[in-house]
């Protein structure tokens, strides 16, 4: 049983990173600014890992002879054709990888992004597409680029709480997850997952906002009685749900990379006036996330934690999707100025807005605690 964390509002200082800690990167889609300014933006943020959802060759070229590791994404629209014809995999690789590798440090290719949700009628072609890309890389002579696919947490995990009960969803008529996990283990690749505590918080009114935002309060925890572990934040619960699902499938040691996470900083009229969608909460989440990753604590069920985390998104934009439509994300404005008073290294202290938000949450927690004592 873990000891309850010490009561404090301002224990969110970032600890120095060490080599064994997960890499912290950011995602990027194809929109302004121009491609040659993106390396400058990453350098200003002390970020050396980039995940490209739209693998524009002009953007890839901008990272020639840099130390930035790049994850490429094959769009969902090409997955089916690549799954049925390996020559299409070769065509994509000859345009997006061969002209640049190894002068660009391409480390991973994600075959699709949340493909099982985006194209449920063609899920039977996802694993063949992954395999065809891998075989095509070998045919070209490239052996140090791993291949995987990005799942969404809600699209692949079922029975997720408590984490020890989590299982992968079944896809009727398709043996999907087992072969993919076997492939990842055989090729030393990682399981890629888009993981948003914000979405789980929205869907479950019993989740306290502070638990989703990494805030450290007494009694701000959840216990998994069956596993005998205690959780101090929602992020770890979701990671351990993936760990448990993999263990139940017989593949418990595959590395996990969070390919998307974040908190929306604004909502327009389309999304509505959501109280918990604001810049203050978004900054608290990001700072809490980075502090947690740099602590080296891992999760209750996986002490080494995740292998990497990519924050959505490099530049402010509206996230495209049913639930998040009209919500703004991103850590930089298109003109390359910082959206937050926040760095990925060093330390920080709470600003006036954050302190006000933390005090509001604290008062809510204190009220509930006093209410429990009155019984």
Sheet bearing 317-318, strands edge to edge: 266-267, 327-329, 317-318
- The one-character DSSP state at 33 is S
Confirm whether 166 is domain-assigned: yes
How much is the average pLDDT of 197-216?
93
Q: Does 11 fall in a domain?
A: no
Average pLDDT of the residues of the chain: 85
Q: Does the residue 7 lie in any domain? A: no
- Position 17 pLDDT exceeds 50: no
Q: Is residue 8 part of a domain?
A: no
pLDDT in tens, 114-136: 999 999 999 999 999 999 999 99
| Per-residue pLDDT at 370 | 39
**E strand segments, 55-127:** 69-74, 105-113
Q: Is 317 a catalytic residue?
A: no
Whether residue 39 lies inside any domain: the answer is yes
Residue 341 is predicted with a pLDDT of 79
What pLDDT band is residue 3 in, cutting at 50, 70 and 90? very low
In total, how many domains does the chain have? 1
**What does the block give as tokens for 268?**
């327009």
Banded pLDDT at 354 (limits 50, 70, 90): very low
* CATH number of the domain where residue 30 is located: 3.20.20.80
> What distance, in Å, lies between the first and last C-alpha atoms of the chain?
25
What's the rounded Cα separation, in Å, for the pair 282 and 354?
10
Instruction: Report d(CA 43, CA 47) in Å as an integer.
Output: 6
Catalytic-labelled residue, pool 260, 283, 318, 354: 260
Whole-angstrom Cα distance, residue 64 to residue 60?
A: 8
**Mean pLDDT score, 260-287:** 83
Which pLDDT score is estimated for 29? Answer: 87
Pairing type for strands 167-168 and 191-194 reads: unpaired
pLDDT at res. 368: 41
Q: pLDDT per residue over 211-255, tens digit each?
A: 999 998 877 889 999 999 999 999 999 999 999 999 999 998 999
pTM score, whole prediction: 0.85
Instruction: Indicate if the pLDDT at residue 325 is higher than 80.
Output: no
- The rounded distance, in Å, linking the Cα atoms of 1 and 101 is 48
Strand-pair category, 157-158 with 167-168: antiparallel
**Predicted local confidence at residue 324, as pLDDT:** 53
Strand (E) or helix (H) holding 134: helix 126-140
pLDDT digits (tens, 9 = 90+) for 137-190: 999 999 999 999 999 999 999 988 899 999 999 999 999 999 999 999 999 999
DSSP category for residue 315? B
Is residue 291 a part of any domain in this protein?
A: yes
Mean pLDDT of 306-321: 82
348 band by pLDDT with thresholds 50, 70 and 90? very low
> What confidence tier does 33 reach under pLDDT thresholds 50, 70, 90?
low
Distance of alpha carbon 302 from alpha carbon 243, whole angstroms: 7
331 within some domain: yes
Region of residue 230 (phi > 0: left; psi between -120 and 50: alpha; otherwise: beta): beta
339 compared with 52, residue with greater pLDDT:
52
Confidence of residue 315 (pLDDT cuts 50, 70, 90): confident
Give residue 37's domain range: 23-373
The answer to whether residue 1 scores a pLDDT higher than 50 is no
């Amino acid at each position: 049983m873990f000891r309850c964390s010490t009561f404090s509002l301002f224990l969110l200082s970032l600890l120095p990173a060490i080599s064994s800690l997960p890499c912290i990167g950011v995602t990027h889609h194809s929109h302004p600014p121009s491609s040659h300014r993106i390396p400058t933006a990453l350098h200003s943020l002390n970020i050396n890992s980039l995940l490209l959802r739209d693998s524009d060759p002009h953007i890839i070229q901008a990272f020639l002879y840099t130390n930035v590791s790049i994850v490429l994404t094959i769009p969902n629209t090409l997955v089916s054709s690549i799954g049925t014809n390996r020559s299409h995999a070769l065509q994509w690789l000859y345009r997006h990888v061969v002209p640049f590798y190894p002068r660009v440090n391409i480390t991973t290719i994600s075959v699709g992004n949340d493909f099982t949700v985006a194209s449920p009628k063609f899920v039977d072609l996802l694993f063949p597409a992954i395999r065809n890309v891998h075989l095509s890389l070998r045919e070209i002579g490239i052996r140090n680029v791993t291949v995987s696919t990005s799942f969404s947490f809600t699209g692949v995990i079922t029975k997720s709480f408590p984490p020890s009960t989590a299982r992968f969803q079944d896809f009727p008529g398709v043996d999907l997850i087992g072969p993919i996990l076997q492939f990842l283990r055989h090729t030393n690749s990682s399981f890629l997952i888009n993981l948003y505590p914000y979405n789980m918080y929205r869907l479950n009114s019993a989740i306290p906002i502070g638990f989703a935002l990494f805030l450290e309060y007494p009694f701000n925890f959840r216990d998994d009685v069956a596993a005998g572990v205690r959780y101090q934040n929602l992020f770890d619960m979701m990671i351990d749900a993936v760990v448990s699902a993999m263990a139940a499938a017989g593949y418990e040691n595959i590395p996990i990379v969070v390919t998307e996470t974040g908190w929306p900083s604004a909502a327009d009229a389309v999304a509505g006036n959501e109280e918990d969608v604001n810049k203050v909460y978004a900054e608290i989440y990001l700072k809490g996330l980075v502090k947690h990753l740099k602590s080296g604590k891992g999760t209750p069920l996986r002490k080494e934690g995740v292998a990497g985390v990519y924050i959505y998104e490099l530049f402010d934009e509206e996230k495209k999707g049913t639930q998040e439509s009209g919500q703004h994300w991103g850590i930089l404005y298109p003109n390359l100025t910082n959206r937050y008073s926040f760095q990925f290294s060093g330390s920080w202290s709470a600003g006036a807005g954050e302190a006000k938000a933390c005090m509001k949450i604290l008062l809510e927690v204190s009220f509930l605690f006093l209410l429990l004592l009155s019984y």
